[in-house]
Structure formats: C-alpha cells, structure tokens
C-alpha cells in the first residue's frame, strides 16, 4: 500500500471514529430540535387561540393570559370564563336591565362603551356585594348564562381572587 493510500486509510478511520462519537450527540441534538419545534408549534397555536378569544370576548390577549393562569387556581375552566364574558358582552350591547340594576356603568360620558375588562370586574364586584345567595345566583345567570354556575367562586368574592391571580401572573 502506498503512503498516500495509508494516509487516506488513517484519515477514513479517524473520520469514522469522529462520526461514531458524534452519533449520540447528533441524535440528542435532533431530539432537542424536534422538542423545541413542538413547543414553538404549541405556542403559536395558543397565541392563535388567544387572538380568536380576544376577538370574541373583547378582552385583550394579555388579560386572557391572566385568566388562563388563574383559571385552574380558582377552579373555573377557561371556556367558562370566556363563555361568560361573551354573554356579558351581549348583555352590555342589549343594555341589560340586570346590569343597570347592579349599577354597572356600561358607557362612557361620550356614549361609547367602556372597556369590557372594567365592566367585567365591576359586574363581579357588584354581584359579590349581593348578600342573598339566591338573588346573586339569579342575577349572575341572567348576565352570564349557564356559565354562571361554574363562576360561583369568582362571583362570591366579587372577582378579588381572579384579580389577585391575574396580578400574580403579570408579575411572573
């Protein structure tokens, strides 16, 4: 075997050793890339869902993220929160007598609608102030629809726990 052939053989053996040594690293790196890609895909899907919910409810994406964080902590599903928010939006648009009876202001001085977030918390606070549980539940059902039952914990404390967890989420 010529010197060039021997050198080529040594280079080939060395290259094979390097390839063998990096196989595990390449597989791990590939796995990590797949995992990162999956997380990115989930993040994009979550952002898209939040954008859709923002359009349906009138809440900002940031506020919905706070609700998402708080939902499990207050034992209320995110779908119940957004469903009730959609009902609230309809109640505002129809100038609900229940909102008026609670003293919830839905319009600004110029006749434009107030921010739904402010109306949401004002409504929860007003409902939380009703001492008679039956009256409170009846009023909540009229405003929030079927979701009102699952919102009981939020309604009972006037939205304080939801607001507190939202502030915690913002801090994180």
**Closest to 124 measured CA to CA, from 94, 147, 104, 138:** 104
Give per-residue pLDDT as tens, 103-146: 999 999 999 999 888 999 999 999 999 999 999 999 999 998 88
Average pLDDT along the chain: 78
134 burial level (CB within 10 Å; 0-12, 13-18, 19+): exposed
151 or 53: which leads in pLDDT: 151
Q: Name, in order, each residue with C-beta under 8 angstroms of 58's C-beta and a sequence gap of 6 or more.
A: 85, 89, 116, 117
Q: What is the pLDDT of residue 160?
A: 80
What is the tens place of the pLDDT at every residue in 22-38?
Answer: 566 655 555 554 556 55
Which carries the bigger pLDDT value, residue 147 or residue 138? Answer: 138
């Amino acid at each position: 075997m010529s010197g060039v052939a021997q050198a080529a053989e040594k280079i080939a053996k060395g290259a094979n050793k390097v390839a063998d040594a990096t196989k595990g690293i390449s597989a791990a790196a590939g796995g990590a890339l797949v995992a990162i890609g999956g997380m990115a895909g989930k993040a994009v899907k979550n952002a898209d869902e939040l954008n859709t919910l923002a359009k349906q409810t009138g809440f900002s994406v940031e506020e919905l993220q706070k609700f998402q964080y708080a939902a499990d902590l207050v034992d209320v599903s995110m779908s119940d929160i957004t469903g009730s928010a959609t009902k609230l939006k309809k109640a505002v648009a129809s100038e609900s007598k229940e909102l008026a009876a609670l003293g919830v202001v839905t319009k600004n001085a110029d006749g434009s609608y107030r921010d739904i977030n402010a109306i949401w918390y004002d409504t929860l606070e007003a409902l939380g102030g009703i001492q008679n549980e039956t009256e409170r539940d009846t009023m909540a059902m009229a405003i929030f629809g079927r979701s009102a039952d699952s919102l009981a914990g939020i309604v009972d404390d006037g939205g304080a726990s939801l607001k507190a967890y939202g502030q915690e989420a913002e801090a994180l």
